[in-house]
Amino acid sequence: MARESQPAGVGYTYSDGEFKPPELTKDELQLQKQQMRTNNAGQKDALMSEASSKVAILQDPVDLAIATDEEAIVLPLWKKYRVILSRINPGTTNKLNWPDKPAS
């Protein structure tokens, strides 16, 4: 099976038939972790914004007793989704598993 070729650069080592990149420095690892936390926080903010928008749009017809059956069914699903999102800690350096959005 053919591998994609990656050019070797300064600091690469050759072992067992392949070039390996140099280990990241402490500063590079720290920067990588900070970037992951920033990405997680940005993703959470975007998903929370979308969920809040959906809840606001669906809440009005429910409050005014003019909601369709679908609107009445979907509103609590979006609220639950938003609660689950709110409990996710974006400060981790791990890749997060985001919950599935409700079908709407």
Digits of tens for pLDDT over the chain (104 positions)?
Answer: 445 566 777 778 888 888 888 888 999 999 999 999 999 999 999 999 999 999 999 999 999 999 999 999 999 999 999 999 999 999 988 889 999 999 87
- Radius of gyration in angstroms for the set of CA atoms belonging to the chain, rounded to a whole number: 22
Strand 18-20 to strand 13-15: parallel, antiparallel, or no bridges (unpaired)? antiparallel
Residues 56, 54: Cα–Cα separation, whole Å: 6
Q: What is the pTM of this model?
A: 0.76
Ordered by start, the domain boundaries in the chain are: 25-86
Residues 65, 20: Cα–Cα separation, whole Å: 64
- Please report where in the chains the tokens 């689950």 appear, as a residue: 84
DSSP lists the bridge partners of residue 102 as none
